[in-house]
Amino acid sequence: MGVYRRGKSWYLDFYYEGKRYTERAGKVAKSVAEEKLDIRRSEVIRGQWKPKVVKISFDKFEEQYLEFSKATKKPGTAKRDAVSLGPLHSFFGGKLISEINPFLIEKYKQKRKGDGVSPRTINIELACLRHMFNMALKWGKAQKNPMEEVNLLKEPEGKHRILSPEEEKKLMDVIAESKRAEDLRELLMTALFTGMRRGELFGLKWPNIDFASRMIIVAEQFHAEGTKGGRIREIPMNPELTEMLINVKKRSHSDYVFTDWQGRPYKTCRTDLDNGLEKAGIEGVTLHTFRHTFGSRLGMMGVDLGTIQELLGHADITMTKRYYHPTAEHKRKAVEMLSEVTSNFTTEAKSEKSSKVVSIGNY
């Protein structure tokens, strides 16, 4: 509690007699915000100041937020917001946003759980509500964000599909036999070698590839996975990927690296990928599986979480941990390595002890 910064504005945040008070100080220096905090706190203690109650309905603000979402977010993210706002509207519609408190949100959570909705979906809806109130604070339409006192539901870890080396070979062999899906192989191999997201692969252009330094430069935008916008991510290319993309460039007639069999930039590869998977007899695989396989293989090779986080472009390392799950075989080998270390240590200790025995010969 105290003063904190969100964007370019400072906010006041303090408790008095169990009640929380928040206020936007604006684009001022931190020292000014701290001075204003002291003044507000003393005014509250003396009963000389009460926060202004903004009277705006959830329905009205929902419309404003949707307009903002469509104008500033990716189409898929904006669509997800619209879907989340369906059940949120059903529950909070008709109320003022100032009336929405942590207790009411907890009741919403219980209702959605009672409706049989998965924790993952409920958390996505709550994340939308949290961002709505963050924007309401920024726009001066709310005094606090009730979601700050609400915990998300615990999600089951679940099993993430990983492509095995055998499945990879089988799929690539099938794709190689299809003239229509010929260009799909390079896209899938790039996904396996870089862990790039679907949108990053489809939007990749030749200027983003530096063959001299063997580096792919990705300009990151906001993703539901937790990546923050405005960053540049550099992904090294191994020799095999470098050679493959050089050959792709030689025959390319597009600004985009990956194009379909008609020479058009990919918007989806689902049909061709599904056809290849069906012929190869592989189930439960999507384009995202290749990204997950990339991260998982790095984890199984002992690459540290920080490096995997950077390569995948995660802002939060907790997201990276989802990609870090060694197989039973790797865990068995890890434990066996301890035996080797212990054995070597014991041998060295015995050797050292023997070397300290000095022969004094016969009397």
| CATH number, domain with residue 109 | 1.10.150.130
| Whether residue 243 has pLDDT greater than 90 | yes
Residue 160: inside a domain: no
Q: Judge if 251 and 121 occupy the same domain.
A: no
Torsion of CA 297, 299, 302, 305, to 10 degrees: 140
Type of residue numbered 312: L
Q: Give the tokens for residue 231.
A: 């960053």
Higher local confidence (pLDDT), 221 or 313: 313
Q: Judge if 190 and 268 occupy the same domain.
A: yes
Q: Judge if 178 and 224 occupy the same domain.
A: yes
Q: How far is CA 255 from CA 180, 204, 267, in A?
A: 20, 9, 15
Q: Give the tokens for residue 174.
A: 């099938």
143, 134 contact by CB (below 8 A): no
Buried b / exposed e over 335-344, threshold 16 CB at 10 Å, is eeeeeeeeee
Per-residue confidence band for 227, with pLDDT thresholds at 50, 70 and 90: very low
Q: Judge if 295 and 256 occupy the same domain.
A: yes
- How many domains, the chain? 3
Buried b / exposed e over 249-287, threshold 16 CB at 10 Å, is eeebeeeebbbbeeeeebeebeebbebbbebbebeebeb
| Whether residue 257 has pLDDT greater than 90 | yes
Q: Judge if 64 and 143 occupy the same domain.
A: yes
Per-residue confidence band for 9, with pLDDT thresholds at 50, 70 and 90: confident
Average confidence score pLDDT of the chain: 82
CA 327 from chain center: how many Å?
23
98-154 per-position pLDDT tens digit: 899 999 999 999 999 999 998 888 988 999 999 999 888 888 788 788 998 898 888
Domain region containing 34: 2-45
Residue 67: inside a domain: yes
Residue 107: inside a domain: yes
Which residue shows structure tokens 């191999």? 189
* Rounded Cα gap, residues 311 and 216, in angstroms: 11
Per-residue confidence band for 354, with pLDDT thresholds at 50, 70 and 90: low
Residue 361: inside a domain: no
Last residue in a domain, options 125, 149, 173: 149
100, 146 contact by CB (below 8 A): yes
Q: Three-state SS for 200?
A: helix
Q: Judge if 177 and 314 occupy the same domain.
A: yes
CATH number, domain with residue 262: 1.10.443.10
Q: How far is CA 259 from CA 91, 179, 240, 269, in A?
A: 45, 14, 20, 10
* Rounded Cα gap, residues 172 and 178, in angstroms: 10
Per-residue confidence band for 45, with pLDDT thresholds at 50, 70 and 90: confident
* Rounded Cα gap, residues 258 and 252, in angstroms: 9
